[in-house]
Amino acid sequence: MAYVVTENCIRCKYTDCVEVCPVDCFYAGENFLVINPDECIDCGVCEPECPAEAIFPDSDDRATPWLEVNSKYAAVWPNITRKIDSMPDADDWKDKPGKEAMLSPEPHKD
C-alpha cells in the first residue's frame, strides 16, 4: 500500500504535503510532485494536508491511473523534504480539470 499524487497537483506545488511526511518520500518535478511507493509507509498523514485534495491511497480508483506516474518519476526526480514557494499561478489552476497534458517530465530545480 502507498499513497499516490494525482492530477490536481499539477501546476500547484503548495508542498504542504512534504512537511508532514515522516519518511521524506516526496519527489519534485518542474510542476508536480510524486510519492515513491516503495518508501511510503502508508501513514496517510499527507492526505488531509493537501489543499488541492490531490493525494489518494492506491486502493482508491482515482489513484489508479497515477500509480505508474508516481513510480516512474520518483526514480528520476530529486527528493524534496521541505516546503517551497508554490507556483505563481497555483491558485488559478487549483481544481481545474484536464491538466494531465501539462505534466512536465523535467525535474524540479532550485
Q: Could you list the residues that contact ligand SF4 (CB under 6 A)?
A: 3, 5, 9, 12-17, 20-21, 23, 25, 33, 35, 40-46, 50, 52, 54-55
SS (H, E, C) the chain: CCEEECHHHCCCCCCHHHHHCCCCCEEEECCCEEECCCCCCCCCCCHHHCCCCCEEECCCCCCHHHHHHHHHHHCCCCEECCCCCCCCCHHHHCCCCCCHHHCCCCECCC
Q: How far is the CB of 59 from ligand SF4 (least distance, A)?
A: 12
Q: What minimum distance in Å lies between the beta carbon of 63 and ligand SF4?
A: 12
Q: Which is nearer to ligand SF4, 54 or 63 (CB)?
A: 54
CB of 39 to ligand SF4, least distance (A): 7
